[in-house]
Structure 1
Amino acid sequence: MSALQQALKEYLAMRRALGYKLEREVRLLPQFLDYVQQRGEQHLSSETAVAWATLPRSAPGWWSARLRMVRGFAVYMHQIDPGHEVPATDLLPCASRRATPYLYDEAQIAALMQVAGTLRTPHRVATIQTLIGLLAVTGMRIGEAVGLDREDFNLATGCIVIRGAKFGKSRELALHPSTTAALRRYLRRADRPAPMADVPPLLITIAGTRLLKCDAQRTFKTLTRRAQIQARSGSCRPRLHDLRHSFAVATVLDGYQQDEDVGRRLALLATYLGHVDPAATYWYLSAAPELMHLAADRLDRHLTAAS
């Protein structure tokens, strides 16, 4: 094992200890070091980093992401040996990869639940309706929802535990009694299949396996067509993940409408969503003009009272 390979092993171990999953880095950074070795180099250079990052000639949108992975490792190596170069942040174009959130209203969510009733089997209907309802009222991530085990739901306390989520964090979500009742009905269905795994999943397919994220997203796309929920623009298309955005916006809107301390509610929302940095929560709220209107109205009332 070369010195660079050993350093990469230590770098990945350090990042994992901080809670990062590093699925792409584990696969791609060793390929980058193989490329460095093929060029007969002992130190990381910006030239080699860019050359490797742009190897997939047909995928320029992926170049900046590859270079960003190298840059993180290069920063680590530069602290050990200044002979390693850190690529500048503007060497390759970085196209925005974030879609504009599609905010669903209550009528659209109800329509999605209704058209889910057209799916093939009664248990499939119940599973997809439970998934949509759970995402709409908790704002959890799709991967978190399909990753839930049966034992993660405590019927007695009405809470769900999300384990090993983003950045390796776990959290407990308190559910509304109506949500608890809906989950109870789903779990007690007479047609619930026997699980294929030793640890039963909460959301289960008719084959007794865990519902997969790709399956849920594909089914949701079908449901949006049947419910005639259409894209608002090229960058604002209905996605399953946008139920999380809708939950965040609805939570803050309710705070304004109830004339509550929205700052306090934002702090609670960030915790509930599992955000390490509050800035991530602000991203979920940035595309809602309704929030801007209510915030401006509250500011106007405050300034009027002060004068």
Structure 2
Amino acid sequence: MFLVKHKLTEKILSKELVLLWTTKNQNESDSTRNGRISNIRGFARYLVRIGYEAYIVPGKILKISRYSYTPYIFSKKELKNIFLAADSCPVSELTPNRHLVMSLIFRLLYGTGLRISEALNLKIIDVDFKKGILYIRNTKFGKERLVPLSDSLLVRCHNYLNAIQQSDYSGEYFFPSPYGGHYGSSTIYRYFRDLIWEVGISHSGKGPRIHDFRHTFAVHCLKNWVLKGEDLTNLLPYLSVYLGHNDLRGTQHYLKLTADLYPAIVANVENHFSYLIPEVIFHETD
């Protein structure tokens, strides 16, 4: 509608058009406007790269909003140690399925990028073992989605379900609490704190958090794509949908994290996909 209203007829991103697009709207927050400015700057740089005339908004007009938390990205070795420690969770008469839940849930969070609430709200009927798919319902943004499982994770889920059903569990939740319903996120977090302490990962008061399994999944995924020379322009929207993001901004933040954390691939990212990396750091907490 904006382009129609202003009768764009040439393949030029003029200064006048850009300034109109980036003018702050009534009741619009700085962070929302900054997002539009960052996006149009990236788009303009992309147009210039491929030979079109485009006005690039000066970066100094952005009011940078700092990320409220720096995610902790687990290394492959740290993940392995956490999973092995979870496998050693002792059997308890009071919570008979606890050792089974702990052995699987952290692998599931990293292997799928689920939010902890999404994992705990899973019901047995949401796990399709024939198709190897999780049905994620009632999510943060109300977006139901399908999440595929790797073959190894699917086998673990199948073995886990068989084990808890052998203990005479006949409820509906995939991660059942011994007190009814499903495990609570605060309970899982307490076990998580114990596990990272056990494997020598210090907790600063700000993290690591359980949500960092999700961050780690996204960053590792993007790192692999970059190293394989994949086209992130095409793949980033798929990752956004897979993670259940409301838009591309949260997913783009992971691309910046990937470049920041792995200097060896910074040049690759900046040379080919700099227009995808947001200059404004959003408060991505989903």
Alignment of 1:143-158 (within 5 A): 143-158=117-132
* Structure showing the higher helix proportion among its residues: 1
Residue 119 (structure 1) aligned to one of 75, 82, 89: 89
Q: Residues 234 and 144 (structure 1 numbering): CA distance in 2 closer, same or farther, change over 3 Å?
A: closer
Paired position in structure 2 for 1:223? 195
Q: Does 1:140 align with 2:111?
A: no
Q: Residues 292 and 263 (structure 1 numbering): CA distance in 2 closer, same or farther, change over 3 Å?
A: farther
Q: Residues 192 and 286 (structure 1 numbering): CA distance in 2 closer, same or farther, change over 3 Å?
A: farther
Question: How well do the aligned residues superpose, as a CA RMSD in angstroms?
Answer: 2.6
Q: Which amino acid aligns with 2:186?
A: C
Residue 213 (structure 1) aligned to one of 185, 193, 203: 185
Q: Residues 207 and 105 (structure 1 numbering): CA distance in 2 closer, same or farther, change over 3 Å?
A: same
For 1:83-139, what per-residue CA distance to the aligned partner results, in whole angstroms no more than 9, with x for missing partners?
xxxxxxxxxxxx978321000011111111111133231732221121101011110
Paired position in structure 1 for 2:161? 187
Paired position in structure 1 for 2:239? 269
Q: Residues 97 and 259 (structure 1 numbering): CA distance in 2 closer, same or farther, change over 3 Å?
A: closer
Q: Residues 107 and 301 (structure 1 numbering): CA distance in 2 closer, same or farther, change over 3 Å?
A: same
Residue 144 (structure 2) aligned to one of 170, 174, 180: 170
Distance 1:165 1:192 in 2: 30
Q: Residues 192 and 105 (structure 1 numbering): CA distance in 2 closer, same or farther, change over 3 Å?
A: farther
Paired position in structure 2 for 1:296? 267
TM-score by length of 1: 0.60
Distance 1:177 1:117 in 2: 19
Distance 1:258 1:185 in 2: 33
Q: By how many angstroms is 1:249 displaced?
A: 0.2
Unpaired segments ≥5 residues, structure 1: 1-94, 303-307
Q: Which amino acid aligns with 1:226?
A: E
Distance 2:178 2:75 in 1: 30
Residue 220 (structure 2) aligned to one of 234, 250, 256: 250
Q: Which amino acid aligns with 2:153?
A: T
Residues 74 and 213, structure 2, Cα contact 8 Å, conserved in 1: yes
**Which is bigger in relative contact order (C-alpha 8 A, separation at least 6)?**
2
Greater C-alpha radius of gyration: 1
Q: Which amino acid aligns with 2:194?
A: T
Q: Residues 212 and 155 (structure 1 numbering): CA distance in 2 closer, same or farther, change over 3 Å?
A: same
Paired position in structure 1 for 2:257? 287
Distance 1:265 1:110 in 2: 27
Q: Which amino acid aligns with 2:197?
A: R
Q: Does 1:202 align with 2:174?
A: yes
Query: Identity percentage over the alignment?
Result: 28
Larger mean Cα displacement after TM superposition, 153-162 or 259-268 = 259-268
Q: By how many angstroms is 1:291 displaced?
A: 4.7
Q: Residues 272 and 125 (structure 1 numbering): CA distance in 2 closer, same or farther, change over 3 Å?
A: same
SS in structure 2 of the partner of residue 104 of structure 1? coil
Unpaired segments ≥5 residues, structure 2: 1-64, 274-286
Q: By how many angstroms is 1:283 displaced?
A: 2.8
Residues 193 and 205, structure 1, Cα contact 8 Å, conserved in 2: no
Q: By how many angstroms is 1:190 displaced?
A: 5.9
